[in-house]
Structure 1
Amino acid sequence: MPPALPVLKLAAAVVVLALGMLLAAGDPLRPVLGGLAAVILVGWGLRDLLAPVRLAVDATGVTVPAGMLSRRHLPWPTVENIQLHRRSGRGLAGPTLEIDTGDSLHLFSRLDLGTDPAEVADALRAARAASPGGTG
């Protein structure tokens, strides 16, 4: 993830809050909505600063986010499929890494991974194949 992105989210929170206050013109709803949007942006920016690593891999499996700051380890036998999806349009342009366990689906974009999702998919497949009892 680009290091400027969390800072940009925090700065956007300040701008949204300020605009909510400036444009209130006696309407109590605008500052409340601006404050709510600012809180969401601050939470999102803090998550990026406090937990920048979105995906980790080792010989036993892959660790993925579970909520804002916690992690969940997925042992290799539970990972059913590692795919790369290429989508375009509607704000979803670009490749997305998909890790499917059958019970849960984990999606990662280039911003989540900090690199090309295709490279990460190849590395995950290689790590799974090299693991004890790997299923390639």
Structure 2
Amino acid sequence: MPRRVTALKAAGVVVFVVVALLGDRPQLLLAGVAALGFALLVFRDLYAPVRLAAGEDGLIVGGLAGKERISWNDVDRIRVDSRRRYGLTTELLEIDAGDQIHLFSRFDLGESVYDVAEALMRLRP
């Protein structure tokens, strides 16, 4: 995870706390919710900085709820989902593991989703 993205999220917390303190009642509620949302994202980035790890025996997917091991035998598909909407392109690494689908963005991985997908395909037996 790039540190500058976490720093921007932390700056968002500060900005929305200031808006909440200086604003009127409706602004307090909206800015408070936004500050809380950014704070949760910062906490996630600091608590679980590694979202995906891979090795010869499979994958480790991490998040706020903990880490989960996924064997290569359980991985059905690895692909990049690219969508263009409102002039923006969103790319997500999609790992289909039976009943679960894990999605990772460039910000989750710290690298291009295409590069990570290629590396996972090379590791996968």
Same fold (TM over 0.5): yes
SS of alignment partner, residue 71 of structure 1? strand
State the distance in 2 between where 1:7 and 1:84 align.
Answer: 27
**Equivalent AA in structure 1 for residue 59 of structure 2:** V
Match of 1:52 among 32, 38, 49: 49
State the distance in 2 between where 1:91 and 1:73 align.
Answer: 37
Q: How big is the shift at 1:46?
A: 1.8
Q: Which residue of 2 aligns with 1:118?
A: 114
Deviations 1:3-42 (A, max 9, x none): 1111111111111121122121xx2x43233222212211
Q: Which runs of 5+ in 2 are unaligned?
A: none
SS of alignment partner, residue 52 of structure 1? coil
Q: How big is the shift at 1:117?
A: 1.0
Show the 5 A alignment for 1:57-136: 57-66=54-63, 68-90=64-86, 93-129=89-125
**Equivalent AA in structure 1 for residue 55 of structure 2:** D
Paired-residue identity, %: 38
**Equivalent AA in structure 2 for residue 48 of structure 1:** D
Q: How many residues align?
A: 125
**Equivalent AA in structure 2 for residue 6 of structure 1:** T
Contact 1:51-1:69 within 8 A present in 2 as well: no
State the distance in 2 between where 1:91 and 1:21 align.
Answer: 35
State the distance in 2 between where 1:91 and 1:48 align.
Answer: 28
Q: Which runs of 5+ in 1 are unaligned?
A: 130-136
Q: How big is the shift at 1:70?
A: 1.2
SS of alignment partner, residue 85 of structure 2? coil
SS of alignment partner, residue 121 of structure 2? helix
Pick the structure with greater CA Rg: 1
Q: How big is the shift at 1:91?
A: 7.9
Q: TM-score, normalised by structure 1?
A: 0.82
Q: Which residue of 2 aligns with 1:30?
A: 27
